[in-house]
Chain A
Amino acid sequence: MNRRNNIWAGVDWTVIALFLCLAIFGWLNIYGAGYTFEQSSIFSFSNRAGKQFVWLMGALVLGFCILLIDERTYDILGYWLYGATILLLLITPLLAHDIKGSLSWISFGPVSLQPAELAKCFTAIAVAKYMGRYGFTIRSWKDWIIPCTMVLLPMVIIMFLQRETGSALVFLAFLLPFYRQGMTGKIMGSGVLVILTFVLVMKLNLIPESVLNKVLQPHQLTRIEVLLGMKDDPTGAGYNVNQSLIAIGSGGWSGKGYLMGTQTKLKFVPEQDTDFIFCTVGEEWGFLGSIGVLLVYLWFILRLIKIAERQRDTFSHIYAYCVASIFLVHLTINIGMVLGLLPVIGIPLPMFSYGGSSLWGFTLLLFILLRMDASRINKLQ
């Protein structure tokens, strides 16, 4: 049997369809968010929608190429790729330009890249490789030391050297595959407990401000304080969220119509084509459009879990869970922030938000999984 033919037969087209669905709807909304009533074409490079189109085309080419690469490459190169990623993360702050306090972007001419987006993927591969190796079993907490270190290392670098809290928090996604592999549920539970304690402690002002200022950046501190209702400041720190809520709330049942939103068009919501892109959906497509998008995401994530469960080797099983979890965490944090339920943590909405790095990062993550899935039939045969 010709193996190559089997690849295309085994590709999960549902996931690709959902991926394209979200990416194209996202692209339309990026156009909407940048639209100023006297607008250039959606393909014009002078606006972000035009650029996003190019990124999207690039992502499709990238995805196609990945499907052609033998999945065993990742098994073989897993640790090397991880090592290279850590190295890249380390040198990034040295090369980076300061963008709003963050040192996570490297520029190549007109194009900027965020290595942290790649780190998620290669960390997932390395973790999956380590935990999926023959004979790896979990008998005590000591067996967790190495996988946890693999996750914490990029997290710490991104948080403290690149000062990019949002991207670092995404690595919490690895808790879910760990849990699936047998990590006791108490750790998940205690995670929730830690968050609750943190809220309580902040509310009651138990930590001296001098200590807080060392751990958190001032803007992060105010974001948390605003979220907890300790500060009411609709024009200052709470401005983004307040305007975001107004934009979404004014959408009503069915929205104001595509390109008709006043909140987003007139730039009341900052970052509306990147982190706050969901506002545009809420304002212009209303409740129906918003839950539509959420349900497509849910379908997408549940589909990834289904794919994960049908893998026949532990490596791809764990990797698939990592991918599903990363998407879930992105969705949770981003929408939670836009809806004012979580503090403002700047991470993109997968496939939706403007940006090449994040789109390509997710493409890489997803299509490696699709390749593994497509060739699962050949395994153990």
Chain B
Amino acid sequence: MINDRYYKRRYVIAGIAILVVLVYVVRLFILQVVDNTKSAKADSNALVRQVVYPSRGLIYDRNDSLLVFNQPIYEVLLVVKEMGASFDTLAFCHALHIDSVQFVERITQIRDKRRNRGYSPYTPQVFMGQLQKENVSLLQERLFQFPGVTIRQRTLRDYTYNAAAHLLGSVGEVNQRDLDRDSYYQQGDYSGRDGIERQYEQLLRGQKGVEVLMRDSRGRIRGSYHDGELDRTPVAGTDLHLSVDICLQQLAEQLLSEHIGSAVAIEPATGEVLALVSQPAWDPKTLVGRQRSKNYNALLNDEHKPLMNRAVQAQYPPGSTFKLLQTLVCLQEGGITPRTEYPCAGPASMPIKCTHNHGSPVDLLSAIEQSCNPYFWCAFRDMLQKDGYGTDNILFRHRYELWRNDILRFGLGQKFTDSDIPDQVSGSVPSTKLFDRLYGKKGWKAITIRSLSIGQGEILVTPLQLANQAACIANGGYYISPHLLHNDSSWDRHETGIQPSYFDLVKAGMLRVMTNGTGRWHNSPEWRMCGKTGTVQNPHGKDHAIFIGFAPQDDPKIAVAVVVENVGFGATWACPIATKMMRQYLQQHWPELKTQE
């Protein structure tokens, strides 16, 4: 152009174009490269992660009887934003057999963010859970009428036997603590709440799967994302084989059903728990599904405290059953020998008198057979006083410490830490510190703690510890930590450190209990049963009956402890239950049991 006065303006115009593009490039850089919040938003827009639940591991007993399995249940899910104005609430309520008041109430609950933290109107929310097939079938047929409603199948636990409720435990919805502790869980997941279900939760639960689905702008699912590349198939939970014999368990529960009490049976050679019974109990089926919380609360408020697993959580003085340990420790630490005899009357045995009718003096085996209180008091006294008392009681207190350590090595006064039995309590064997505090260092002598000699006083044991004590004697000096998993050899062996020949002596005494002593009315001589009864004084009511024993004498297959609360003599109440358990277990013959399948 000739004579163009404004030719420089071309640069202004080109400059404007360059400036605009530059501004947009900067804006794009900020949006796409600097700010990385947008990707997450796009994903949450378009991707839905749907959890695929694995089936929970099954639980079998030692003979492969199925104890716990899964039953399908159904959940009705609802996406609030997809319901739309034309949603036919009445028809929906009709299909689910609820009324409109319940509907409104439930919708309000779902939308309340304080009670339902993960609420979003765009994602499926559980409207009703744990429904049986017949409750959802009507809705299933008409599902197309209700936009935003889906039905999801999940599983609940079901049980073959009405037995072993404490032991098996139950499955329930996770609580806030679980959610905080383990990121695996999400609101609404189930986990083992107690018993074996909780103990082996990690194995039983398996691994949840996930399906990544695409959702369009209207919330409709448009198929899987990247051909399921990001999906993860669920891994089913591991099946468990318990050491329990469900027949023995059922038998013991039946025998104890009229009582409050517990029974524990252990296979001595392996430490496997054959039965772990606590009465009163409940039908495990009642703590499943919709009725769970109602029934659980009823159990919680029951005056007999059925939720307490007495086999591992109740603590009693061991009574006369403790005389067996007393014998072993006194022999080991000196004070008595296998030939020691004591008169069971007269000033020598004061202040404990014999209530039985037998000759005096008595030897060791007769003392066990007759459960002679003065004998064990004398033995205990002589063991503790062997070196005299010393200055400041020091020699005596040292002897007591020796005695206590030996007792602890039978598994008393502590939980079995390398064990899979949940909810144990430790029981107690009083320490020198305790007596020092009560009486002063110089203030206590053998006579002060004489009750301990016959298993009364400050000593407390659980039925599990009692059974383990029996197993330990049966083994002749060691025990394997009692546990519930079958065919698993990874459990510790604990030595008592007491000379094996002393155990033979005690076993001989226990055999005589069953042939001539307090257990003779319920003996089965062909199984060479060994046992010891106990009657524990109870300041709150009638005495507790206790029995521990094992059979057969030479090759023990089963060790048992039975405690029946507030009934009276061990020989009358606990002994028949224990011997019947041992006999039927050894015979593997269960005439009383009716199968429940």
Contact = CB atoms under 8 A, between A and B. Distances in A.
A369 to B, nearest CB: 16
B25 interface: yes
Kindly name the residue among B9, B46, B216 whose own CB sees the greatest number of chain A CB atoms within 10 A.
B46
A253 B214 contact: no
Contacts of A243: 45, 217
Contact of A267 (B25, B31, B33, B217): B217
Interface residues of B, number: 42
A163 B36 CA distance: 39
Interface in B175-203: none
Contact of A294 (B14, B25, B36): B25
Contacts of B32: 248-249, 251-253, 282, 286-287, 290
A38 B29 CA distance: 32
B25 A180 contact: no
Contacts of B214: 37, 262, 265-266
A252 B39 contact: yes
Q: Could you tell me the dominant secondary structure of chain A's interface residues?
A: helix
Contact of A305 (B7, B17, B24, B25): B17
A268 B44 CA distance: 12
B5 A266 contact: no
Given A262-B214, A266-B216, A341-B27, A295 B21 contact: yes
Contact of A250 (B7, B16, B24, B42): B42
A179 interface: yes
B250 to A, nearest CB: 57
Most chain A CB within 10 A, of B16, B31, B39, is at B31
A185 B16 CA distance: 13
Contacts of A331: 20
Main secondary structure of the interface of B (DSSP, over half): helix
A248 B215 contact: no
Given A253-B32, A294-B25, A302 B17 contact: yes
Interface string B1-18: 100011101101110111
A283 B43 CA distance: 12
A246 B42 contact: yes
A309 B20 contact: no
B45 A246 contact: yes
A321 interface: yes
Interface residues of A, number: 54
A36 interface: yes
Interface in A253-311: 253, 262-263, 265-268, 282-283, 286-287, 290-291, 294-295, 297-298, 301-302, 305, 308-309, 311
A245 interface: yes
A249 B20 contact: no
Given A180-B10, A336-B24, A339-B28, A268 B35 contact: no
Interface string B197-226: 000000000000000001111100011010
Given A179-B9, A263-B46, 9 more contacts: A179-B12, A250-B41, A252-B39, A268-B216, A268-B217, A282-B31, A282-B32, A294-B28, A341-B23
Interface of A: 36-38, 176, 179-182, 185, 243, 245-253, 262-263, 265-268, 282-283, 286-287, 290-291, 294-295, 297-298, 301-302, 305, 308-309, 311-312, 314, 317, 321, 324-325, 328, 331-332, 335-336, 339, 341
Interface of B: 1, 5-7, 9-10, 12-14, 16-18, 20-21, 23-25, 27-29, 31-33, 35-39, 41-43, 45-47, 214-218, 222-223, 225
What are the 3 A-B residue pairs with the smallest beta carbon separation, nearest first?
A: A249-B38, A250-B42, A262-B46
